[in-house]
Amino acid sequence: MTTPIYRNYYRQRTANQWRKIPAEQGDPSAIRPFLAGNWKMNLIPRAGVALAARIFDLCHNIRDVDMGFAPPFTGLSTLADYIEPDFLQREYGIGRNVFLLAQDTFFESKGAFTGEISADMLAAIGVDRVIIGHSDRRANLGKYFGFSSSVARRLSKSFLTQSHLRLSQRENPDIKILSAIAHLLEESNNDVLEGLEKFLEHELNERAGESDEAIQRKVHAALANGLQVIFCCGENREARRAHETFELLERQIRIGLDGVARPTMHEIIIAYEPIWAIGEGAKPAPPEQIAEVHDFIRNLLMDLYGEQVAARVRILYGGNVKPDNICEIMQLAGVDGALVGGASLNASDFSKIIRFGLPN
Ligand code: PEP
């Protein structure tokens, strides 16, 4: 027997299991899947509008699911103008189910933060939702910004010798720091220093990025400015192999959403994106693993916010979602949509993903 695909549904928990209960198509109080395209650092504004137009063309009259587009910051304003609901309704028979997404935001509202964009700036140009904690930012910043080589340099003998001299000349030098540096500089510690340098270089290269605490501040800044949050979480390959997936996800969610009050949870969408399943060349997570993690996250939300909230919070899956696997993924009782990278840059592929379960 094949599992049915529902485009609109309610969710119930019976015998400790979450289930989708079909709803009338377009029922305003039912759960609407959300298919969100993360364009990452691709497309100039004009090209973004052209892509969106092709997708709308292929999704005429689709009003029963939410669709979202996350262009780079430079493409937001142009796309905001284009996706004006009356225009979309007239041209394509769609409208209020199209959402403009930003790929990130900063937690401070203004000031000397060169290159950052605040949540109120995003809200002011018509952004509806913001992706927070994407793994590109949680885990890859170290690689790109070179924290690791900069820390490694600080562990060289010459840097430590100069630092020791500089610090000891201060009026009230921190004795603990001075003695730690002096200790590292002892001849017998050469190997320790070299090992430490290698260890930190590797750690930072692999792991440096946004912390759970910074992500929590971004969540609150977004909510305070009326933006909904697409909160990303997910484990890397190492954590999965070490059977630490659930522990890590629990930490990401507990810290990242700490302080979000129960009534505000309807502004939160969670995206489970296992890092090992993301991007070109990777394979999507197997459906059993997606189902297991989505149930885990939903049960955690039930502990934190109660069953009613847990049943309704949309949990998306992300990681190589394509036209040929979206139906299987959407059949899972815990999945409410997808966060799509590569395939969202192709109009034909992304429209097929939006149209999951419908005849071609
Ligand atoms: C992503 O980067 O969020 C993503 C899911 O990418 P892809 O669909 O290309 O794996």
Where residue 322 sits, what CATH number does that domain have? 3.20.20.70
- 13 vs 209: CA distance, rounded Å: 36
Describe the crossing of helices 190-207 and 175-185 by its angle, rounded to 10 degrees: 110
Q: Which amino acid residue places its CA nearest to atom 7 of ligand 1? A: 341
Same domain, yes or no: 190 and 338: no
Q: Does 1 fall in a domain?
A: no
Give residue for tokens 């709803």: 23
Q: Does 30 fall in a domain?
A: yes
Overall domain count for the chain: 2
Q: Does 154 fall in a domain?
A: yes
Compute the average pLDDT of residues 21-50.
Answer: 95
Same domain, yes or no: 256 and 286: yes
How confident is the model at residue 1, as a pLDDT? 59
Under a CB-based contact definition with an 8 Å cutoff, are residues 218 and 132 in contact?
Answer: yes
The pair phi, psi for residue 235, each rounded to 5°, is: -100, 155
Same domain, yes or no: 160 and 250: no
Name the domain boundary from 161, 176, 205: 205
How confident is the model at residue 144, as a pLDDT? 86
Q: What confidence tens digit (pLDDT) does each residue in 60-97 have? A: 999 999 999 999 999 999 999 999 999 999 999 998 99
Mapped onto helix, strand or coil, the DSSP state of residue 178 is: helix
Same domain, yes or no: 80 and 174: no
Q: Does 3 fall in a domain?
A: no
- Residue of 345, 346, 286, 351 whose CA lies nearest to 317: 286
Q: Which amino acid residue places its CA nearest to atom 4 of ligand 1? A: 341
How confident is the model at residue 360, as a pLDDT? 76
Same domain, yes or no: 227 and 183: no
- Per-residue pLDDT at 204 exceeds 80: yes
Dist. CA 319 → ligand 1 center (Å): 5
Dist. CA 118 → ligand 1 center (Å): 24
Give the residue numbers spanning the domain of 302.
9-140+209-354
Same domain, yes or no: 128 and 153: no
Name the domain boundary from 205, 230, 251: 205
How confident is the model at residue 334, as a pLDDT? 98
Amino acid found at 119: A
Name the domain boundary from 189, 205, 221: 205
- 185 vs 183: CA distance, rounded Å: 5
List Cβ neighbours of 7 (8 Å cut-off, separation of 6 or more): 25, 33, 64, 65, 356, 357, 358
- Per-residue pLDDT at 285 exceeds 90: yes
Identify any residues that bridge with 305 across adjacent strands, giving them in sequence order.
none
Identify any residues that bridge with 98 across adjacent strands, giving them in sequence order.
67
Identify any residues that bridge with 130 across adjacent strands, giving them in sequence order.
102, 229
Under a CB-based contact definition with an 8 Å cutoff, are residues 181 and 145 in contact?
Answer: no
Confidence label for 146 from pLDDT (cuts 50, 70 and 90):
confident
Same domain, yes or no: 200 and 257: no
Choosing from 201, 210, 235, 273, the catalytic residue is 273
164 carries an active-site annotation:
no
Compute the average pLDDT of residues 27-39.
Answer: 96
Amino acid found at 58: L
- Per-residue pLDDT at 26 exceeds 80: no
Same domain, yes or no: 120 and 37: yes
Q: Does 2 fall in a domain?
A: no
Q: Which residues line ligand 1 (CB under 6 A)?
A: 38, 273, 278-279, 318-321, 339-343
Same domain, yes or no: 190 and 218: no
Q: Does 359 fall in a domain?
A: no
Q: What confidence tens digit (pLDDT) does each residue in 305-344 have? A: 999 999 999 999 999 999 999 999 999 999 999 999 999 9
Q: Does 176 fall in a domain?
A: yes
Q: Which of 275, 276, 320, 325 to mutate to test the pocket of ligand 1 (most atoms within 8 A of CB)?
A: 320
Dist. CA 360 → ligand 1 center (Å): 24
Same domain, yes or no: 159 and 117: no
List Cβ neighbours of 247 (8 Å cut-off, separation of 6 or more): none
How confident is the model at residue 93, as a pLDDT? 97
R_g of the chain computed on alpha carbons? 23
Q: Does 43 fall in a domain?
A: yes
Q: What is the CB-side half-sphere exposure of residue 36 using CA atoms within 13 A?
A: 35
183 carries an active-site annotation:
no
- Residue of 270, 34, 262 whose CA lies nearest to 133: 270
Same domain, yes or no: 233 and 339: yes
- Per-residue pLDDT at 270 exceeds 90: yes
Dist. CA 228 → ligand 1 center (Å): 20
Describe the crossing of helices 212-224 and 245-256 by its angle, rounded to 10 degrees: 40
How confident is the model at residue 140, as a pLDDT? 79
The angle subtended at Cα 11 by Cα 308 and Cα 359, nearest 5°, is 150
Same domain, yes or no: 245 and 350: yes
Compute the average pLDDT of residues 270-288.
Answer: 97
